[in-house]
Structure 1
C-alpha cells in the first residue's frame, strides 16, 4: 500500500466510522483537536487501524503525533517496518 492509499484509507475511516467532517482533515491540521475524539474513540481508532493495516500501535506511537501528516507518516513507517 503506498502513501496515497494509506492517507485515503485513514481519511475514509475517520469520516465513516467517527463522523469527522472531511473538511477538517488537512495534513498540517492538529490531529487531536480536529478529531475531537474521546479516549474510547481512540481505542476504537487503534483497533480499526490495526485490523485494516495489520500493524500494532502502542501509546508511545501517538506521543509524537501532532498533525494528520505525523499520523500518516507514523502508520507508513510501521507498515514499512513489518
Structure 2
C-alpha cells in the first residue's frame, strides 16, 4: 500500500470514527493537542485498522505516536514486517 493510500485510509477512519473535519486531519496534526484524541480513541482506531487491513497491531507500536503521520508510518512498518 502506498503512503497516500495509508494516509487516506487513516484520515477517513479518523473523520468517520471521531467526527473530525477532514481539513483538520493533516500529517502534522498532533493527536492529543490538535485533534483532542485520547487513549480510548487510539484503541478504537487500532480496532478499525485491524478490521480494514487484517494486520495485527501491537499496543507498543502506538505508544510513541504523536501525529497522524506517526500512525501512517507505524502502519507502513507493520506492512513491511509482514
CA–CA distance in structure 1, aligned partners of residues 65 and 30 of structure 2: 9
1:62 aligned partner = 62
Provide the alpha-carbon RMSD of the alignment: 1.6
CA–CA distance in structure 1, aligned partners of residues 68 and 4 of structure 2: 13
- Moved beyond 4 Å, runs of 4+: none
Which segments of 5 or more consecutive residues in structure 1 lack a partner in the other structure?
none
Larger helix fraction of residues: 1
CA contact (8 A) 2:30 2:67 kept: yes
CA contact (8 A) 1:53 1:79 kept: no
1:21-40 correspondence runs (5 A): 21-40=21-40
Does residue 73 in structure 1 map to residue 65 in structure 2?
Answer: no
TM-score, scaled relative to structure 1? 0.83
CA–CA distance in structure 2, aligned partners of residues 29 and 17 of structure 1: 16
CA–CA distance in structure 2, aligned partners of residues 39 and 66 of structure 1: 11
CA–CA distance in structure 2, aligned partners of residues 15 and 45 of structure 1: 11
